[in-house]
Structures are given as structure tokens and as C-alpha cells.
Amino acid sequence: MIVVMEQNATEDQVKSIASRIEAMGLKATVIVGTERTVIAAIGEKRGTFKDSIESCPGVSEVTPISAPYKMASREVRPEPSLIRVRDFAAGAGQVGYVAGPCSVESEEQLMSSARAVKAAGATGLRGGAFKPRTSPYSFQGMKEDGLKLLSAARDETGLAVFTEVMATEDVDLVARYADVLQVGARNMQNYRLLEAVGKSGKPVLLKRGASATMDEFLLAAEYILNEGNDQVMLCERGIRTFESHTRFTLPLASVPYLHRRTHLPVIIDPSHGTGHTYMVHDLAVAAVAAGADGLIIEVHPDPSNAMSDGYQSQTFEAFAETMKRCRKVQAALAEE
Ligand code: PEP
Ligand code: MN
């Protein structure tokens, strides 16, 4: 249920309603908006909830939350959320650019990538140290050594480090080095992992599962939010369809749909979403035009010799071109 407070409700009134809700065995979250304060009451509601709260001083109305997800819903938080990590900002009109290699491979590879993407205008650095690979015989990532290189790259460039955490038992380790914890598509419904990244207090980039519906995606985000972590970004990285001309099918319709349903920023991954380097530029530009709050793009100093995903990685020069074009689209949209 959402308890909408009157515009002139006092802080004491808000506090007293929140404790009343908690006393009923529900979780109360106070959300202060520019227009009004609302309290989200989440849990098994009792029949008398609406009547007993609606008559309290300071309360304007009590309405049910119709979406299955609650904290992620726009019904609870009508204003878009802004996620800021170092100079990276996504949401509420800010577009955040994250770029870097699929996997961290060496100091030289990562540092040169970090310098290049920073020079092109990115504010986030991606790089997998723990890699979810289809085959157990493929490169599995540099693990903690990779995390150390990411941390060194952040120290030199100031870029916010985005890196994947694959297992609950690795959350503390990865959180020590990363600025943003990435939960990969294969783990979108690993609920214990979602709870653990929720508890970490670090911002999270949650990637959509390749066969997940939007409700499943948002309910996965809800697991993180439910731990009190409101720093969640949703990443559309493409879904599996009957099509084979692309690695996955990248639905840009996810941007307006998610913006209608949730306040969380929406980041598009045109690299995994297409699986072809030559498509990345156009889809990146289209995503910004569609209103995406950010992009995450694979960039490698020598894509044809990359240890993973080289066929969808941009060169430094190509990425710089993509950044320029995206910025132009952003500027054109801002002029309106
Ligand atoms: C990645 O970002 O390198 C990755 C493995 O992505 P996804 O989880 O979307 O497949
Ligand atoms: Mn990859």
C-alpha cells in the first residue's frame, strides 16, 4: 500500500504513521518527493489497514500498489532516480557512459583501455574479473588480480569501476575493489546473490536475464531494493529469440517501457545486445535517442585478439566516434 501524506504534513506525523505501519508488522519506507511525501507499506496487509491509516492526521490517502514489484515501481516513487558514483551519473536526465574490455586480461590492456575510454568521455570503466563463460574451458577471468588492476585503473583515471560478481561468497571481495557491482544476465534470478549485493550497500548494475520478462526483471531488482539498497540500475542487454542475425535481440522498447514502470535508470548494452562490432555504434546512438540513461560498451585495444567477446568489441577509435555521436544526440534532445 502507498500512504500519501498531505502536502503540509509534519515530520512528526510522517514518523508516527511509519511506526504505526511497522507496528502492524509491515515494512515502512518513507520517500520524500518534491511534491509530496509518501510511505510505502510493504508486506502482507491486513483488511483494516486502509481504514485505520487513512483516518490518521496528516494522511491524504491510502492506495494499493498495483504492480507486483513495489519499491521499484513508479507508483511508489514517481520521480526518476539518479545514481551517482564518482563522475558517473545516470538517470533523471543524466546519461552515464561505461566502457572497457569484456575481461580484464593484463595491466597494459586494462590501463590503455581505461585511458582511451576516459579520453573519449566515458565516466565508468567496465572489465570482468570473474567471467561467466558458457564453456568451463574458456578463460574464466583474472579474479582478484583483475580486481587489483581495475582498482589501479580507477586510481589513475578516476573512472567508476563496474565489474561482475558471480557468487554470493565473492560479494565482499568484489565490493572491496569495485564502485558498482554488476549482476550478470545468467544470475538475474540468483536470489541469494541479489540479497547479498543488496546488503553490500554498493550501487548495482542488474543485467536482464536472456529469457526474463519485464516483471521478472523488475522483481529481481526488488530483491536488491528490499535490502535497503536503492542504488540499482537496470541493464537491457538483449534477449534470446528465434533470430540469429544478432547474438541476442536488443529491444530498445525496454527503455520507454521501463521508464513508465520504474524510477530506476535504464542502461543499454549494445555490445552483448547485438554481438557484432559493426552494429554497436548505431544501436548505442539509437539507445540515447530512445532516452536511455546510460550505455555499457565493450572496448578493446586489439579486438581480434581479445580473450572474450572480441567480435563485439569496439576499437578505441570506434568508441570515440560513438561517444561523439551520442553526445550530439544528447545535445539535440536537450535543445528541444
Ligand atoms: C558482460 O558484461 O561481460 C557479460 C557477461 O554480460 P551478460 O551478463 O549480459 O551476458
Ligand atoms: Mn562480454
DSSP state of 169: G
Enumerate the CATH 3.30.70.1140 domain ranges in the chain, comma separated. 2-63
Rounded Cα distance, 117 and 99, in Å = 6
Task: Write down the CATH number for the domain with range 2-63.
Answer: 3.30.70.1140
Q: 295, 326 in Cβ contact below 8 A?
A: yes
> With a 6 A CB cut-off, is 207 part of the ligand 1 pocket?
yes
SS3 256: helix
Q: What is the pLDDT of residues 97-152, one digit of tens each?
A: 999 999 999 999 999 999 999 999 999 999 999 999 999 999 999 999 999 999 99
The total of other beta-carbon atoms located within 10 Å of residue 310's CB is 16
The rounded distance, in Å, linking the Cα atoms of 153 and 21 is 46
CA distance 28 to 30: 7
Cα 216 to ligand 2 centroid, rounded to whole Å: 23
Which pLDDT does position 48 carry in this prediction? 85
Query: Where residue 272 falls among pLDDT bands split at 50, 70, 90?
Result: very high
Check pLDDT > 90 for residue 227. Answer: yes
- Binned at pLDDT 50, 70 and 90, residue 19 comes out as very high
Ligand nearest to the CA of 267: 1
Q: Is 41 in the pocket of ligand 1 (CB under 6 A)?
A: no
Residues of CATH 3.20.20.70 domain(s) within the chain? 83-334
Q: Which ligand is nearest to the CA of 206?
A: 1
% of residues, the chain, pLDDT over 90: 95
Longest dimension (CA), the chain: 67
> What pLDDT is attached to residue 43?
87
What band does 29 get if pLDDT is binned at 50, 70 and 90? very high
For domain 83-334, give the fold: TIM Barrel (3.20.20)
Atom of ligand 1 nearest to the CA of 235: 9
Neighbours of 18 (CB within 10 A): 17
Q: What does the pLDDT read at residue 336?
A: 76
